[in-house]
Amino acid sequence: MDVTPSTLADRVPWADIRNGVLAGMAILALLLPPGAPVSHSASQLTASREPTPLRQAEFGGVDASNDMRHMANWIASAGDHAAMPFVMIDKRASRLYVFDAQARLLDHTPVLLGSAQGDDSTPGIGDKAIADVLPEERTTPAGRFTGQRGLNIIGEDVVWVDYDAAVSMHRVRTTQPKERRLQRLASETVDDNRISYGCINIPAAFFDAHIAPTFSAHRAMVYVLPEQKSLQTVFGTKVPAARHTEQAQGHLAQMIK
C-alpha cells in the first residue's frame, strides 16, 4: 500500500535517531582540537563587530567650534575629567563653557583673556610684579589644569587655574574705566576681548551663578584650548581630518541630486 508521511512517522523509531545524533555530536566534540572555531550566525557576527559607542558631550543645541566639540567629546568618552564638573575655554572665540559631571553643558559666556597671543606662560611670570610684566608676556596659557578656589593678594576670591603663573578666573574688574572691560564683554566681536594680563575675566553674575558653585566644595578640571598650537600638541588628542559640517553635507547632497 502507499505510505503517507503521517503513517511513516508513526513507524520511524525517533527516539533511536535522536540518541544517535546526540552520540555523534559528543564524538565530534571530542575530536575537535581545543580552541577550534565555532560557527556563529551572521547576526551574531555582526553584533560582535559593532563598536562600543563613545560617550558624547551634550551641547544642547549651542553653537561651538569643531575643536571645542571634539575636545569635549574626548573628555567625556575618555573620562578625563574624573567624573567632576569641568570648564572649557575657547581662546579663539573668547568664550567659556561650564559642564556638569555628566559632560552636559550648563551655560556659557564671553570672557576677557590675556592681551598677548600665545599658548605658554613666560617662565617665572608668577613672581613678577604686575608693573613689570611686558606686553608680550600677557598670555593666557593653554592646557589642562586642576582649578581650585582661593584668594589673590588683595583678598579677592578667585579660582586658580595655574597658581605658579598667577593665572586665575575671577570676576571682571572695572577699576580702570578707560579699559572698558564691561563694554568689551558685551560687544559681538572677539577682537576686543584681549585685554588682561593673562587672567580670565568673567562677568560677575556668571561667576557667582556657575564658577563659584562648581569649585565651592571640590576641585574641578579647566581646559584652555590653544590658539596657536594644535590640540594634539597640548592635550595629546587630534581632530579627525575627515570632518564635515552640516553645511558641507548639504552641498554634497545637492551635488548628488
Per-residue pLDDT tens digits for 153-209: 889 999 999 999 999 999 999 989 999 999 999 999 999 999 999 999 999 999 999
Residue 25 has pLDDT above 70, yes or no: no
Residues 6+ apart with CB under 8 A from 116: 135, 136, 137, 138, 139, 194
The average pLDDT across 224-239 equals: 91
Q: How far apart are CA 108 and CA 99, in angstroms?
A: 9
Across 75-97, b (16+ Cβ under 10 Å) vs e yields bbeeebbeebbbbbbbbebbbbb
- pLDDT above 70: percentage of residues in the chain: 72
The average pLDDT across 97-111 equals: 97
Q: Which 8-state DSSP code applies to residue 209? A: I
> Which of 137-146, 206-215, 242-251 is least confident?
242-251
Pick from 182, 225, 172, 211: nearest CA to 85: 211
Confidence of residue 239 (pLDDT cuts 50, 70, 90): low
The average pLDDT across 28-36 equals: 45
Whether this model's pTM surpasses 0.85: no
Confidence of residue 218 (pLDDT cuts 50, 70, 90): confident
Residue 22 has pLDDT above 60, yes or no: no
Amino acid letter, residue 84: M
What is the rounded average pLDDT for all residues in the chain? Answer: 80
The average pLDDT across 102-114 equals: 97
Residue 102 has pLDDT above 50, yes or no: yes
Residue 130 has pLDDT above 60, yes or no: yes
Please say whether the beta carbons of 58 and 105 come within 8 A. Answer: yes
